[in-house]
Each structure stands twice: as C-alpha cells, then as structure tokens.
Amino acid sequence: MRPMKVLLQPIGEGDWQLLARLAIRLPHLLPFVECQVSPKTVSLPPGAVTPRRQWLANVLLAHLSVPQGFDRIVGITNVDLVVPPFNFVFGVAEISGQRAVVSTARLVDRKDEVTELRALKEILHELGHTLGLSHCPNPTCVAAFSNTLADTDRKGPKFCLKCYQQLLVSWQQQCSDETK
Ligand SMILES: [Zn+2]
Ligand SMILES: [Zn+2]
C-alpha cells in the first residue's frame, strides 16, 4: 500500500501559517497519509457568494483540481461556507472522491491551538468522506457529524477503530485497483 498524498490548498487571502502545522499533524492521525501545503493560493471563484456574504461550498469544491502526484486536495478558506438549505457548513467533500473544502471562519478561537485542533478535526472528517466514510454514531469519533462548534469540540481528532479500519480497507482497495 502506498501513501495517500494530500495537498492542503489555501483558497483566498489569509494567514495560512496554520496549514504548515496541520500538514505535520495530519499523518499522526492518519498514518497512511502524506501531506503537503500548496505554495500557491487559489482565488475565490467569482460569483459564488450569496447576499448573506457566504460562499457556496460546492462551487469552491468544483473549482479545485487535484494536481498530478496527489490523491486528494483539501481547499482551506477563511470565508464562511454554505450549502443551501443549511445555514452554514464547516466543510464539504466528494463522497468517495478526491476533493474537499474546509472553512476556518467559524473555527477561530483566541487561542491558536484551539483553532488548529478544530481545523485538524474538520479536515480529517472531510478526508474520511473522500474515502467513502459516512457519519459515525460515536460522538467522540472525528467522523461524527458536527452541527455546532460544540459538537466539533466534543469529538476527538481520532477516528474510532471501526472507522479507521474502514478507511484503511478503502485506501487499500484503491491502491490495489490501480495495479490491476
Ligand atoms: Zn460529514
Ligand atoms: Zn467512528
């Protein structure tokens, strides 16, 4: 099984020093992942903003393309994201796909380490979806659905054993499909 190469892609203006720290932490929680941060920022797609100053998450998702040599791209933005009819989303992902987007807009705390841990959880959660994972009924598992920031803070940054095994099987399957 080869490593799953993940690119963290900043979208729009922001202080993206956080991303370098996240890229180091992600493989500790998903050991088959290798993570890099894109040195280039991509711009927010024009026309994807609603009258409530939220950005349409699925338009941002569609705007991303996975560069050669990578298996997944996770766009990170500090604008607020929405998928109507929801009021907001922390992130979106293609189920069993390659692309995800996470917003830090609602994750920011005055303590950087709190913001960072929340972002880490949201990225792991969305990466889980790209490997076909559904929401987990275990509220402490990172694959549990977050409706509020309190939900995000309650869950840990780890996948429960059942979810982790499912992710591993899914990635092994994708690797073995490539060699057929
Ligand atoms: Zn989810
Ligand atoms: Zn789980």
Overall pTM surpassing 0.85 (yes/no): yes
Give the model's pLDDT for residue 72.
98
Calpha distance 145→85 (Å, rounded): 17
Output the CA 125–ligand 1 centroid distance in Å. 6
Q: Which two tokens stand for residue 111?
A: 């303590």
Calpha distance 159→50 (Å, rounded): 34
pLDDT tens digit at each of 180 positions of the chain: 999 999 999 999 988 899 999 999 999 999 999 999 999 999 999 889 999 999 999 999 999 999 999 999 999 999 999 999 999 999 999 999 999 999 999 999 999 999 999 999 999 999 999 999 999 999 999 999 999 999 999 999 999 999 999 999 999 999 999 987
Output the CA 133–ligand 1 centroid distance in Å. 9
Give the model's pLDDT for residue 177.
92
Residue 68 CB-density burial (10 A; 0-12 exposed, 13-18 middle, 19+ buried):
exposed
Cross-strand bridge partners of residue 77 = 11, 103
Domain residue limits, the chain: 4-178
C-alpha dist (Å) from residue 125 to 43, 45, 51, 163, 176: 24, 24, 28, 11, 24
What element of type H or E holds 59?
helix 57-63
Q: Which ligand is nearest to the CA of 164?
A: 2
Give the model's pLDDT for residue 179.
83
Output the CA 125–ligand 2 centroid distance in Å. 10
Give the model's pLDDT for residue 15.
81
Calpha distance 165→180 (Å, rounded): 23
Q: Which of 94, 116, 122, 126 is catalytic?
A: 126
Output the CA 15–ligand 1 centroid distance in Å. 25
CATH of 4-178 among 3.40.390.10, 3.40.50.720, 3.20.20.450, 3.20.20.70: 3.40.390.10
Give the model's pLDDT for residue 124.
98
Calpha distance 20→8 (Å, rounded): 9
